[in-house]
Amino acid sequence: MANTTEHVLPAISGGITTPSGFRAAGVSAGIKANTALDLALIVSDTPARAAAVFTTNLAVAAPVVVSREHLARSGGTTRAVVVNSGCANACTGADGLQAARDMAAEAAALVGCPAEQVLVASTGVIGVSLPIEKIRRGLPLALRALGSDQGPQAARAIMTTDPFPKEAATRVSLGAGRSVNIGGMAKGSGMIEPMMATMLGFVTTDAAVPSTLLDRALREAVNDTFNAITVDGECSTNDCVMLLANGASGVDVTDATYPEFVAGLTGVCRELALGIVRGGEGATKLVTVSVTGGATSADARKAAKAIANSPLVKTAIHGGDPNWGRLIAVAGRAGVAFDLSRAAVTIGSIVLFKDGRPHDEAAPQAADYLKGHDLTVGVDLGAGRASSTVWTCDLSAEYVRINADYRT
């Protein structure tokens, strides 16, 4: 792969409507009891190519089923995406499927496209029927509110327990003065270990991208961003990431310029993914888990996820306790190749364990480091040269309160 650093410009202000030819809206349809924004609509002025990845949970929600069907029937052509918050429309049987289909059909009639060119997504409480009449009344409001400056409203409309909206954008140079924009928005705060999780991500670009390259780019970007984060190790029923490319810039992505495009896409996805972790339920710290010395990349990722999901590790970090033994213990039980005599643990740049020997004299320095809010912990498995990075957050009493009270 070519070196892409010089081709990708810094992140720019914006989000889902930063690319040309996309409009969005966020309105209140009355799904949430507090009249907050709860219905988002994203529209491409012209038919866009679409790619998506969905939850691996076998308890799959109705909107995921319908969006998969629509992508298959349309050949990956999409004009609009409708998203509601406040109700997951998951585990709702035949009525839930019909509601998701009606949601798409209502939006299609307003936008003026076939129903299969509308994708749908929902987030909220599982097992609650989608109030489709409220969707029907809300969609015309959303249509009238559509604008290229309404991305922030859409980003707020898809939030549930999120403490803040998540948006990101960048401009990517594809050579000879030709550039494209990539923008996105995401939601997610709890029930997060995307493979995927109750995380919704929507990304747009005004580049013209062939379907095969679009799908490949999304999967590559997601693997090292959305699939490399975890808040609580829970995989939900509704998660998805959707990518729409409408070609409004007039600039084509080819095999030659693909590396630059995927680098820009990965940058946007990473910013959104890190926003999800920063906004994790009850989170006070963003934690980068860096695993090196893996026998394989898969081993390194598995160990990193195990460390990032450990309640003992996460609570120690929350309390500022440099308990390196918890990190070693998780690495040793992760089910991957591990050599204790060659293993190491670092907190920040501070070595607390190396080559089978503790360095507890460094504990006070590590404890001081853990008072920060953006932290890195590292484990060397001592078994090879592969590495992986995963992002997580600390585990606080507030996380327990939020999830204990979620339905009550």
Catalytically annotated residues: 198
Tokens (6 digits) for 226: 């959305």
- Residue whose pair of structure tokens reads 């896409």 in the numeric block: 265
Tokens (6 digits) for 232: 């609580």
- Which of 240, 235, 348, 349 minimizes the C-alpha distance to 285? 348
CA dist., res. 162 & res. 275, Å (int): 10
- Which of 291, 289, 290, 294 minimizes the C-alpha distance to 382? 294
- Which of 93, 66, 84 minimizes the C-alpha distance to 142? 84
